[in-house]
Amino acid sequence: MSTPVAADVLSASPPATARLRPVARWRRRLEAFGASRPAAVGLAIVLVWIVLAVLAPAIAPYAPNASDLTALAHPTPSRAHWLGTDHLGRDLLSRILWGARPVLVIAPLAVLGAAALGSLLGLTAGYYGRWIGAVITRACDIVLSFPVIILYMIILAHFGSSAWNIIGVLTLTKAPIIARIVRGMTLDLREREYVAAAKMRGESALYIMLVEILPNARGPLIVDMCLRTGYNVIIIGVLGFLGIGLPPPDPDWGGMVKDTYGMMMVWPHMALFPCAAISSLVVGFNLLAVGLRELGLRD
């Protein structure tokens, strides 16, 4: 049961945000994050990783690929190497910090690519319906029904593994999911009266899709993009683990686990620290997504 009167009372309060300047409006939005604990924690984790990645050249104690041969005998954490070194004597802390850089570029770019492609497909499928919608929906289902890991292996083995190829593969495999969400919302939104009003003033289909419909789908879309970014971090790790991630020797979290998991029984820290890095970033994005959904992302 709802409390209709309460809703009326709240909506009748003076429209404070309408008159705020942009700076103040952003401050208000950030304050809103404080209202949701998951959002605040998630945002904090993600921001910390972004800052660390940006500052990696300045704060990393060693070069990421420099071997400290003296540490090889005792690779465990020590005063010289806070997180220890790997089996080649490379400082784990430095490698994790440097390893955050490609992840934090590839995962969001791939999500943006997927969102752009998926939104276009979803809008087209939802707005036109009929056979266009059917064709797009079926095509998306086909991509989604593929075992993705095998798809990654085939494509990356064929085209070679590089940052751009990984972005491309992630875009292609994530776009159908976004398309499905956007199509569902479009089916609903296209029946709104403001869409009819736009038609009555002779707007083009593209304008209606991009300017009238898409902005109103942004709430669930942004939540989902946040979630997908986290999943992409996992997939980048998996690709690194399978050896088809970013080419060595530059540090890559998944690759770091692959190189050292054989020594798990002896030196567990070599694999566990990169794993922890992946997990924390994924948890950060997931919490952010949960929080954004909680906040409803109005305005």
Partner 1 sequence: MTDGPLLQLRDLHVVYRSRAGDVSVIPELSLSLQAGEALGLVGESGCGKSTVALSIVRYLGRAGRIAGGQIVFEGRDLTTLDLAALRAIRGRRIAMVYQDPMASLNPVMTVGRQLMEVPMIHEGVSARVARERAIAMLGEVKLADPAAVMDRYPHQLSGGQQQRIVIAMALIAGPALLIMDEPTTGLDVTVEAAVLDLVRELRRRHRSAILFISHNLGSVARVCDRVAVMYRGGIVEEGPVRQIFANPRHPYTRGLLDCLPTLGRDKRQAPLVPIPGQVESATARGAGCGFARRCAHVEAGRCTSGPIPSLVVEGEPQHRVACVRAGELPLWRRRTSPAVADDHGADGEPIITVHHLTKVYEPQRRRRFGAARPIRALADVNLAAARRQTLAIVGESGCGKSTLAKVLSGIEIATTGGVTLDGSEVGRLGVDARSASLRRKLQMVFQNPDSTLNPSHTVGYAIGRALRRLRDGAPADVGAGVARLLEVVKLTPAMASRKPHHLSGGEKQRVAIARALAGDPDVIVADEPVSALDVSVQAAVINLLNEIQAAHGATLVFISHDLGVVRYLADHVAVMYLGTVAEVGRVERVFAPPYHPYTEALLSAVPVPDPDAAVARILLEGPVPRADEIPRGCPFATRCPRRIGAICDDTPPPVQQLAADHRIACHIPGAELQRLQTPLVGSAAAGR
Of 27, 29, 74, 199, the one binding partner 1 (CB under 8 A) is 199
The single residue among 22, 73, 158, 299 that binds partner 1, judged by CB under 8 A, is 299
Transcribe 44-93 into DSSP letters: HHHHHHHHHHHHHHHH-SS-TT-B-GGGGS--S--SSSTT-B-TT-BBHH
Q: Which stretch binds partner 1 (CB under 8 A): 14-22, 41-49, 70-78, 140-148?
A: 14-22
3: contact with partner 1 by CB under 8 A: yes
193 binds partner 1 (CB under 8 A): yes
Kindly tell me which of 91 and 212 has the beta carbon lying closer to partner 1: 212
| Alpha-carbon separation of residue 118 from 75, 167, 262 (angstroms) | 46, 14, 39
Q: Which is nearer to partner 1, 29 or 74 (CB)?
A: 29
Q: Tell me how far, at minimum, the Cβ of 228 lies from partner 1, in Å.
A: 22
Query: Which residues have a Cβ under 8 Å from the Cβ of 12 and sit 6 or more positions away?
Result: none
CB of 142 to partner 1, least distance (A): 24
Per rule CB under 8 A, is residue 196 in the interface with partner 1? yes
| Burial class, 266, CB count within 10 angstroms (exposed 0-12 / middle 13-18 / buried 19+) | exposed
The residues in 220-239 that bind partner 1, with binding defined as CB under 8 A, are: none
295 burial type by CB count under 10 A (0-12 exposed, 13-18 middle, 19+ buried): middle
Q: Does 22 bind partner 1 (CB under 8 A)?
A: no
Out of 79, 131, 147, 202, the only residue in the binding site for partner 1 (CB under 8 A) is 202
Return the number of the residue (138 or 218) whose C-beta is nearest partner 1.
Answer: 218
Q: How far apart are CA 189 and CA 213, in angstroms?
A: 6
Tokens of 148: 């993705």
Taking the C-alpha atoms of residue 95 and residue 274, their distance in angstroms, rounded to an integer, is 9
Number of residues that bind partner 1 (CB under 8 A): 34
Q: Is 294 in the site for partner 1 (CB under 8 A)?
A: no
User: What residues contact 40, with CB distance under 8 A and at least 6 apart?
Assistant: 33, 34, 291
Q: Which amino acid is at 60?
A: A
The answer to whether 116 touches 269, Cβ cutoff 8 Å, is no
> Token digits for 261?
């998991």
Q: Which is nearer to partner 1, 28 or 74 (CB)?
A: 28
- The verdict on 9 binding partner 1 (CB under 8 A) reads yes
Closest separation in Å from C-beta 175 to partner 1: 23
31 binds partner 1 (CB under 8 A): no
Single out the segment in contact with partner 1 by CB under 8 A; choices: 86-94, 102-110, 199-207, 268-276: 199-207
Residues at the interface with partner 1 (CB under 8 A): 1-6, 8-15, 17-19, 35, 192-194, 196-197, 199-203, 212, 215-216, 218, 298-299
